């Protein structure tokens, strides 16, 4: 992502914040995995969206109209000894020269400098409740200002939820963002293809997961969430991430795996027959889910509201389950009383972007939001038939989900993950080649 992209975002946000406001964003904290081992650091999405700065212990401040510079970055100082162990740091000078800060200070000086920046503003834009330690520091700075002898009419008297503004911006993807998301989808698609080439009875689920991790890393991407690789009964466990069972002939295998590239995620699911051929029951269920997905994608277009694709998927799935004899009664009734939810218990999609379950409201003023060009959503209906005495055994342990990443454009859906097989015959052909 180019420096101008980040600068443009800051400008857009600052126009909304206005000359008497200040926006403050902390970086994500470093998190401990176990004892003295840390997780690989991942910058906070909002912070990165505005700065492109990936270091911990940083604070970004936007002060529209400040004569000394509108974009102020607090960050760690250069330190030869520490950099030897942990890698390079930009330091305040690098924050200015490389990251476009107008002004930058050592993070250790923030107590001395930030209150002075806040003091001249009436509104503080800040996302409360995300990082409690930083929430407390904000409260301390404000309280100190209020208590100080120099307090004046300028002391801020209004807090505004920064995430409301920022998350609405993040919902509409720019060309550069769409391009990053296309690349993330492409890599994940290749990884799914790679997996289709190795799946066979006797393999363990983790061996399939390994194919994804290999393909992601060789493209400089990381998993964007823990991959779900569930065969047989595991295909019916929505958040199955153990991935430690051996796959049997006759199992269906549900793989939900996507990657993050340059801070943008893909999220793709395919469901495959471990033997390479779907059984008649597996295929029947699969085709219902595929029809539901195609119907939902068709409605993922500008002018439709957020829930229309889901409604379409629910219709197709409920009709299909009735036809298979798994539900009885009128389709209308099965939908209105939620009977279909026994087999399709999640929503058809979610916003996708820097976060897998990306930010942005699904409703505006209590109404489903209209889809607009630039929004990206997943479309991922499913049917999950766990083993149960009131379901014919030939349907047991059939869990199917098909998930693609879809960009809303001014003329219909643009499937970012297109090109990856999903028709049953295409999957069977790929698996036998
Ligand atoms: N992989 C998470 C989801 O599909 O929502
Ligand atoms: Mn998803
Ligand atoms: Mn998924």
pLDDT at 377 over 80: yes
pLDDT at 260 over 70: yes
3-state secondary structure of 151: coil
Confidence band of 150 (pLDDT split at 50, 70, 90):
low
In whole angstroms, what is the distance from residue 234 CA to residue 251 CA?
Answer: 10
- Are 219 and 363 found together in one domain? yes
On average, the pLDDT of the chain sits at: 97
> What is residue 155's predicted lDDT score, i.e. its pLDDT?
76
Question: Parallel, antiparallel, or unpaired: how do β-strands 222-223 and 264-265 relate?
Answer: unpaired
> What is residue 61's predicted lDDT score, i.e. its pLDDT?
98
Q: Return the closest-CA partner of residue 255 out of 40, 429, 421.
A: 421
Give the domain CATH number at 38: 3.40.350.10
Choosing from 106, 135, 170, the residue where a domain stops is 170
What is the atom index within ligand 1 of the atom nearest the CA of 225? 1
- Are 36 and 136 found together in one domain? yes
The CA 159 to ligand 3 mean position distance, Å, reads 36
Q: What angle do CA 196, 202, 205 make, to 5 degrees?
A: 60
Choosing from 113, 137, 170, the residue where a domain stops is 170
Which residues contact ligand 1 via a Cβ below 6 A?
225, 256, 267, 350, 356, 380, 403
Ligand 1: residue whose CA is nearest its atom 4: 267
pLDDT at 370 over 80: yes
In whole angstroms, what is the distance from residue 430 CA to residue 433 CA?
Answer: 5
> What is residue 146's predicted lDDT score, i.e. its pLDDT?
84
- Are 130 and 245 found together in one domain? no
pLDDT at 151 over 70: no
- Are 156 and 186 found together in one domain? no
Report, as an integer, the average pLDDT of 270-285.
98
Give the domain CATH number at 279: 3.90.230.10
Rounded to two decimals, the pTM is: 0.97
- Are 146 and 182 found together in one domain? no
pLDDT at 309 over 80: yes
Total number of domains constituting the chain: 2
> What is residue 148's predicted lDDT score, i.e. its pLDDT?
80
The CA 260 to ligand 1 mean position distance, Å, reads 13
Percent of the chain with pLDDT over 90: 95
pLDDT at 153 over 90: no
Report, as an integer, the average pLDDT of 116-125.
93
> What is residue 157's predicted lDDT score, i.e. its pLDDT?
80
> What is residue 23's predicted lDDT score, i.e. its pLDDT?
98
Q: Each residue of 192-228: pLDDT tens digit?
A: 999 999 999 999 999 999 999 999 999 999 999 999 9
| CB-count burial class (<10 Å; 0-12, 13-18, 19+) for 2 | exposed
What is the atom index within ligand 1 of the atom nearest the CA of 350? 5
- Are 390 and 303 found together in one domain? yes
The more confident residue out of 143 and 238 is 238
Report, as an integer, the average pLDDT of 37-66.
97
The phi and psi torsions of 118 (rounded to 5 degrees) equal -70, -35
- Are 164 and 179 found together in one domain? no
Choosing from 124, 142, 170, the residue where a domain stops is 170
Q: How many other C-beta atoms can be found within 10 angstroms of the C-beta atom of residue 353? A: 25
In whole angstroms, what is the distance from residue 73 CA to residue 382 CA?
Answer: 45
Q: Which of 119-123, 126-130, 170-174 has the lowest mean pLDDT?
A: 119-123
The CA 271 to ligand 3 mean position distance, Å, reads 12
Beta-strand ranges (E) seen in 29-83 are 32-34, 37-38, 59-62, 71-75
- Are 165 and 179 found together in one domain? no
Report, as an integer, the average pLDDT of 88-106.
98
> What is residue 105's predicted lDDT score, i.e. its pLDDT?
98
| CB-count burial class (<10 Å; 0-12, 13-18, 19+) for 81 | exposed
> What is residue 120's predicted lDDT score, i.e. its pLDDT?
85
The CA 188 to ligand 2 mean position distance, Å, reads 13
3-state secondary structure of 370: strand
> What is residue 149's predicted lDDT score, i.e. its pLDDT?
57
Report, as an integer, the average pLDDT of 166-181.
98
pLDDT at 171 over 60: yes
Q: Return the closest-CA partner of residue 281 out of 312, 320, 231, 329.
A: 320
In whole angstroms, what is the distance from residue 249 CA to residue 192 CA?
Answer: 20
Q: Which residues pair with 103 in a beta bridge?
A: 72
Helix (H) or strand (E) holding 382: strand 382-385
In whole angstroms, what is the distance from residue 238 CA to residue 230 CA?
Answer: 9
Report, as an integer, the average pLDDT of 322-342.
98
Domain extent at residue 289:
172-432
**Catalytic residue set:** 36, 239, 256, 267, 346, 350, 357, 380, 384, 401, 403
- Are 272 and 326 found together in one domain? yes
- Are 207 and 304 found together in one domain? yes
> What is residue 364's predicted lDDT score, i.e. its pLDDT?
96
What is the atom index within ligand 1 of the atom nearest the CA of 256? 1
Report, as an integer, the average pLDDT of 174-188.
98
- The answer to whether 74 touches 59, Cβ cutoff 8 Å, is yes
> What is residue 268's predicted lDDT score, i.e. its pLDDT?
99
Report, as an integer, the average pLDDT of 171-199.
98
- Are 297 and 387 found together in one domain? yes
- Are 392 and 265 found together in one domain? yes
Q: Each residue of 11-40: pLDDT tens digit?
A: 999 999 999 999 999 999 999 999 999 999
């Amino acid at each position: 992502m180019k420096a101008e992209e980040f600068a443009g975002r800051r400008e857009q946000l600052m126009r909304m914040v206005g000359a008497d406001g200040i926006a403050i964003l902390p970086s994500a904290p470093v998190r401990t995995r176990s004892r003295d081992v840390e997780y690989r650091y991942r910058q906070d999405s909002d912070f990165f969206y505005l700065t492109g700065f990936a270091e911990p212990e940083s604070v970004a401040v936007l002060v529209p109209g400040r004569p000394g510079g509108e974009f102020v970055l607090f960050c760690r100082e250069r330190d030869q000894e520490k950099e030897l162990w942990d890698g390079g740091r930009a330091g305040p000078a690098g924050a200015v020269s490389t990251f476009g800060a107008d002004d930058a200070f050592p993070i250790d000086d923030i107590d001395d400098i930030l209150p002075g920046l806040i003091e001249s503003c009436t509104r503080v834009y800040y996302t409360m409740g995300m990082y409690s330690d930083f929430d407390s520091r904000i409260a301390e700075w404000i309280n100190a200002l209020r208590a100080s002898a120099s307090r004046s009419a300028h002391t801020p008297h209004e807090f505004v939820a920064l995430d409301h503004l920022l998350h609405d911006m993040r919902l509409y993807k720019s060309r550069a963002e769409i391009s990053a998301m296309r690349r993330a989808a492409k890599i994940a698609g290749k990884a799914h293809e790679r997996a289709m080439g190795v799946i066979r009875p006797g393999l363990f689920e983790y061996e399939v997961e390994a194919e994804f991790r290999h393909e992601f890393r060789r493209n400089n991407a990381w998993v964007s969430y823990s991959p779900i690789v569930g065969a047989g009964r595991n295909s019916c466990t929505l958040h199955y991430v153990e991935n430690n069972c051996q796959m049997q002939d006759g199992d269906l295998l549900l793989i939900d795996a996507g990657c993050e590239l340059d801070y943008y995620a893909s999220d793709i699911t395919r469901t495959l027959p471990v033997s390479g051929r779907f059984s008649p029951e597996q295929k029947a269920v699969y085709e219902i889910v595929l029809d539901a997905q195609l119907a939902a994608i068709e409605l993922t277009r500008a002018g439709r509201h957020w829930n229309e694709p889901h409604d379409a998927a629910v219709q197709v799935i409920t009709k299909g389950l009735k036809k298979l004899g798994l539900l009885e009664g009128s389709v209308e009734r099965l939908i209105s009383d939620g009977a279909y939810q026994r087999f399709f218990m999640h929503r058809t999609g979610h916003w996708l972007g820097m976060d897998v379950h990306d930010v942005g409201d699904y409703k505006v003023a209590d109404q489903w939001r209209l889809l607009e060009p630039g929004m990206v959503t997943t479309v991922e209906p499913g049917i999950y038939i766990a083993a149960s005495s009131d379901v014919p055994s030939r349907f047991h342990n059939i869990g199917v989900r098909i998930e693609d990443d879809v960009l809303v454009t001014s003329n219909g859906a643009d499937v970012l993950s297109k090109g990856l097989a999903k028709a049953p015959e295409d999957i069977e052909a790929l698996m036998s080649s």
